[in-house]
Amino acid sequence: MKSFISALLTSLVLLILCGVIYPLAVTGVSQMLFPEQANGSLIEVRGKPVGSALLGQAFTDERYFHGRVSAVNYNTYDAQSVKDGKTVYAGVSSGSANLAPSNPILAERVKQDLAAFLKANPDVKQEDIPTDLLTSSGSGLDPDISPQAAAIQIPAISKATGLDTAILEKLVKDNTTGRTLGIFGEPRVNVLRLNIGIDALLNRG
């Protein structure tokens, strides 16, 4: 009986410490020191959240920059989630297809995406396309592309929007983030921020 009481008390103490006090403490500290990150790094336009800087979105409009390929649908709403004539919440899933480079399914997917990109960007040569535009990240949610992947889309976007290429080049440059701490990772451009910039330029005009 003493062992049972001791085990029960230990469980209760650990439950309170690990299940209540610790999460509340971490949440409180994060809200005080890193409120933006703690709340999902949301990006707002005119006071309304339009996405997260940490999660990629699928853009199909020819006026917008396109992000990396995803193995799954990471939009919360899509054409496949229609019920009673209304688009409903489809949920967010993530993950990689985990296909080896030798897998014919991957080869066929890359072939199709390559053909689609070349069709949308007729002035681009196949050998000039950055690999990140044809490959997915491990999570399938990467919100960024390389500056090269953004730059190669500029001529087609300029044609679709009527915006001068110099303006779009500046937009890419202004939204390019360097290596973390100067040494980790590679320079990157957030696709959502780029497309918000395009919207702002078009609305201004």
> Quick one: average pLDDT of 77-93?
57
Name the average pLDDT for the chain. 82
> For residues 181 and 88, what is the distance between their CA atoms, to the nearest angstrom?
41
> Quick one: average pLDDT of 171-196?
88
* Residue 50 confidence (pLDDT): 80
129-139 pLDDT tens trace: 998 888 877 77
What is the token pair recorded at 102? 């030798």
* Residue 55 confidence (pLDDT): 80
**Would you say residue 191 has pLDDT above 80?**
yes
Among 158, 136, 37, smallest CA distance to 145 is for 136
* Residue 149 confidence (pLDDT): 92
**Would you say residue 172 has pLDDT above 80?**
yes
> Is residue 188 within a helix (H) or strand (E), and if so which, with residue range?
strand 188-190
**Would you say residue 82 has pLDDT above 60?**
no
**Would you say residue 16 has pLDDT above 60?**
yes
* Residue 189 confidence (pLDDT): 93
Question: What is the band of 29 on the pLDDT scale with cuts at 50, 70, 90?
Answer: confident
Reported pTM: 0.71
89-131 pLDDT tens trace: 555 555 566 777 788 888 888 888 888 888 888 888 888 899 8
Among 148, 67, 81, 80, smallest CA distance to 113 is for 67
